[in-house]
Structure 1
Amino acid sequence: MRRLLLAAALLLLGPAAQAQQPVLNIYNWADYIDPYAIERFQRETGIRVRYDVYDTLETLEGKLSAGRSGYDIVVPTSEPTFHRLVRAGALRPLDMARIPNARNLDPALMARIAAVDPGNRHGVIYLWGTVGFGMIPERIRALAPDAPLDSMALLMDPQHLRRISRCGVAVMDSAVDVLPSVLRHLGFHPDTAAQAELDAAQRALLAIRPFLRSIPSPPALIEALANGEICLAFTYSGDVIQAAARAREARRAHEVRYVTPREGAQLWFDMLAIPADAPNPDAAHAFIDFVLEPEVMAGITRQVRYPNAVPASRALLPQEVQDDPSVFPDAETIARSFVAGTPSQAAERARARLWARFRAGR
Structure 2
Amino acid sequence: MNLLRALLLLPLLVLSAAAQTPPTGERVVNVYNWTDYIDPEAIQRFQRETGIRVRYDVFDSLETLEGKLSAGRSGYDVIVPTSEPSFARLARAGALLPLDRTRIPNWGNQDPALLAQVAGSDPGNRHGAIYLWGTIGMGIRADRIRALAPDAPLDSLDLILRPENARRIARCGIAIMDSGIDVIPSVLRWLGKDPNSADAADQQAAERALLAIRPHVRAIISSAAITDALAQGEYCAVLTYSGDVVQAQTRAREAGREAGLTYVQPRAGAQLWFDMLAIPADAPNPDAAHAFIDFMLRPEVMAGVTNQVRYPNAVPASRQHIRPEVAADPNVYPPAEAIARSFIVSAPGPAAERARGRVWSRFKAGR
Same fold (TM over 0.5): yes
- Choose the corresponding residue for 1:63, options 68, 78, 83: 68
Give the superposition deviation at 1:145: 1.0
> Residues of 2 paired with 1:39 and 1:256: CA distance?
32
Match of 2:354 among 337, 346, 349: 349
Q: Which residue of 1 aligns with 2:78?
A: 73
C-alpha distance in 2 between matches for 1:174 and 1:33: 21
Cross-structure match for 2:18: none
Contact preservation (8 Å) 1:25, 1:50 = yes
Determine helix, strand or coil for the equivalent of 1:215.
strand
Alignment-derived partner of residue 232 in structure 1 = 237
Query: What displacement does 1:132 show?
Result: 0.3
RMSD: 1.1
Q: Equivalent residue of 2:351, what SS?
A: helix
**Deviation (angstroms), 1:254:** 3.2
Of 37, 41, 49, 2:42 maps to 37
Aligned to 2:170: 165
Partner Cα separation in structure 1 for residue 178 and residue 129 of structure 2: 26
TM-superposed CA distance for 1:137, in Å, is: 1.2
User: Deviations along 1:292-314, whole A, 9 cap, x unmatched?
Assistant: 00000000000000000000101
Once residues 194 and 185 of structure 2 are traced to their aligned partners in structure 1, the CA distance between those partners, rounded to angstroms, is 8
Q: 1:21 aligns with which of 17, 26, 33?
A: 26
Offset at residue 18 of structure 1 (A): 9.3
CA distance in 2, matches of 1:118, 1:177: 22
Q: Are residues 1:182 and 2:178 paired?
A: no
**Equivalent residue letter for 2:326:** V
1:54 corresponds to which of 35, 59, 62: 59
Q: Tell me the residue number matched to 1:89.
A: 94
Task: Tell me, yes or no, if structure 1 residue 198 matches structure 2 residue 203.
Answer: yes
Q: Deviations 1:134-192 (Å, cap 9, x if unpaired)? A: 11111111111101100011111111111111100000000111000100111110011
Question: Any idea what the Cα deviations from partners look like across 1:209-241, whole Å, max 9, x if unmatched?
Answer: 000001001100001100001111100000100
Write the mapping of 1:248-327 to structure 2, written as runs, cut at 5 A. 248-327=253-332
Matched, 1:247 2:256: no
Once residues 249 and 135 of structure 1 are traced to their aligned partners in structure 2, the CA distance between those partners, rounded to angstroms, is 18
Please give the residue correspondences for 1:128-147 in structure 2 after superposition, counting only pairs within 5 Å.
128-147=133-152
Structure 1 unaligned regions, length at least 5:
1-16
Between the aligned partners of 1:44 and 1:244, the Cα distance in structure 2 is 33
Q: TM-score, normalised by structure 1?
A: 0.94
The equivalent of 1:9 in structure 2 is: none
1:67 deviates by: 0.5
The DSSP-based 3-state class of the residue aligned with 2:219 is coil
What 5-or-longer segments of structure 2 have no aligned partner? 1-21
Count of aligned pairs between the two proteins: 346
**Cα distance in structure 2, aligned partners of 1:197 and 1:128:** 28
The answer as to 2:180 corresponding to 1:150 is no
CA distance in 2 between counterparts of 1:187 and 1:53 reads 35
Q: d(CA) in 2 for partners of 1:29 and 1:138? A: 31
Structure 1 stretches (4+) deviating beyond 3 angstroms?
A: none
Q: Tell me the SS of whatever aligns to 1:278.
A: coil
Q: TM (normalized to structure 2)? A: 0.93
The secondary structure found in structure 1 opposite 2:361 is: helix
- 2:86, 2:121 → 1: CA distance? 10
- Partner letter of residue 60 of structure 1? L
Offset at residue 20 of structure 1 (A)? 2.8
State how far apart, in whole Å, the 2-side matches of 1:39 and 1:135 are. Answer: 35
